[in-house]
Amino acid sequence: MKRMIGITVCAGAALFTAWTLSAQELKAVAKDPEGHGLLCMLGTKRVLVVSGTPEQMGGAHGRLLADLVPHVMPRTMALVATGYAVQKGKWFYDTIDEIYRRSSPHTPERFIRECTAMAAAAKITERDALCGNFFPELFHCSGVAACNTATADGRVVHARVLDYMRDINLQKYTVLQVFVPNGGIPWLSVGYAGFLGTVTAMNARGLAIGEMGGHGEGAWDGIPMTFLMREIAEKAETVEQALAIMRKVPRTCEYYYVISDAKRNMAGVYATPGKLEVLQPGQQNPRLPAVPKDTVMMSAGARAKALSERLHAQFGKITPEVMIEIIKRPVAMRSNLHNAIFMPETLDVWFADAGKKTPACDEPYTKANLPALLDFYRLRQAQP
């Protein structure tokens, strides 16, 4: 079962220099022969950039990650299926078939086309690809958000913690994914080989979003959460635009979202198929511990208490480095699979993945900048 935490912090107005990549730090490894993708290494981290139509992006994804995708789909999914059968007493793949049958009519058709193209290029079955991209609807969790005057120098700091099945070694297949869709906003996802939706994203307009799952398994007559987040990443420039998309589409299950933008707006969102509630910064809730000024929290139990205490203690001092300390255990769990800290105003991201035996919060972070990644991609695409 997965548990996630998202935090957004923001304060006054301050100017600073954007960080950029150098040619020594980011290295091209493979170029898509059809011209729609590039696989790179940023230190020890994989970075995949794909562009074009859904078919072109899916094809590039499958070709460039052909050695990884089959390990995730179906092999890692088989481990998930075993655990699900033991825990629930149900056959995992029958449930996935039901999720797809009920949610696919509400899913933007371009995502299905991209998934099909990825499957063909990676030489896996379409069913395995769809299974891997629809299975997150089965797992749910809790979350927290904070914002505004808690930062040290006025910058927006948006962090999220993904606590999720570290023991199945999904961290072996991590990929920082950058999508450049025709007619959409370029965006990045802290993701995994073969996954085309997202749970941790920021786009080139400075809209950042993370999710935290709740209850409601079985309420699948809507757009799956991972594809709803991708729809937002490709279309929304502000928190209000993201909320408008959420209000418009049919939704599944119960989820909590943390959203921020480059204009220093932010919101915590509670969403079910029939309800959408927005939690403003600093708003108290009887189900939560004390919420610091300019903070939205949507966590539970001891994790929420620890997070509240740390945010209070560091109020007015928070930087990305301080936030990395704030989200360490017990805010993160032993199952902590990945963490990300976004700065929407500069389009920087710090991200960490779990180790073989260690949670992500105990691993080193890698820093990337979305405009620099996009510039590197355009430069390499222009070369013969």
pLDDT digits (tens, 9 = 90+) for 39-95: 999 999 999 999 999 999 999 999 999 999 999 886 666 666 666 665 666 666 777
Is 365 a residue whose pLDDT tops 90? yes
Distance CA(160)–CA(339), nearest Å, equals 6
Computed from CA positions of residues 299, 187, 320, 327, in that sequence, does the dihedral angle turn out positive or negative?
A: positive
Distance CA(69)–CA(142), nearest Å, equals 29
What's the whole-model pTM score?
A: 0.91
**CB under 8 Å to 45, separation ≥6 — which residues?**
174, 176, 351, 353, 366
Lowest mean pLDDT among 275-284, 293-302, 345-354, 369-378: 293-302
Considering only residues 20 and 125, tell me which one the structure prediction assigns the higher pLDDT.
125
User: CATH number of the domain at 2-58+137-382, out of 3.60.60.10, 3.40.50.720, 3.90.1150.10, 3.40.50.1110?
Assistant: 3.60.60.10
Is 15 a residue whose pLDDT tops 80? no
SS3 110: helix
Average pLDDT over the chain, rounded to an integer = 87
Residue 174: pLDDT band (50, 70, 90) is: very high
Distance CA(46)–CA(256), nearest Å, equals 29
**157, 319 in Cβ contact below 8 A?**
yes
Structure tokens at 154: 């006025």
Q: What are the residue boundaries of the structural domains of the chain, listed by start?
A: 2-58+137-382
Is 18 a residue whose pLDDT tops 80? no
Phi-psi group of 164: left, alpha or beta (phi > 0 → left; psi -120 to 50 → alpha; rest → beta): beta
**CA nearest neighbour of 363 among 371, 355, 373:** 355
β-strands 45-52, 174-181 pairing = parallel
pLDDT, residue 91, reads: 63
Distance CA(129)–CA(127), nearest Å, equals 5
**CA nearest neighbour of 189 among 197, 231, 181:** 197
Condensed to tens digits (0 to 9), the pLDDT of residues 319-338 reads 999 999 999 999 998 989 99
Distance CA(294)–CA(315), nearest Å, equals 10
Task: Give percent above pLDDT 70 in the chain.
Answer: 85
Amino acid identity of 87?
Answer: Q
Is 382 a residue whose pLDDT tops 50? yes
The string of DSSP codes covering 235-264 is: H-SSHHHHHHHHHHS-B-S-EEEEEE-TTS
**CA nearest neighbour of 223 among 191, 203, 246, 201:** 246
Condensed to tens digits (0 to 9), the pLDDT of residues 99-148 reads 889 999 999 999 999 999 999 999 999 989 988 888 776 554 545 555 66
**Helix segments in the chain, DSSP class H:** 54-64, 69-70, 77-88, 92-103, 109-122, 126-134, 225-235, 239-248, 301-313, 320-326, 370-382
Phi, psi (deg, nearest 5) at residue 112: -65, -40
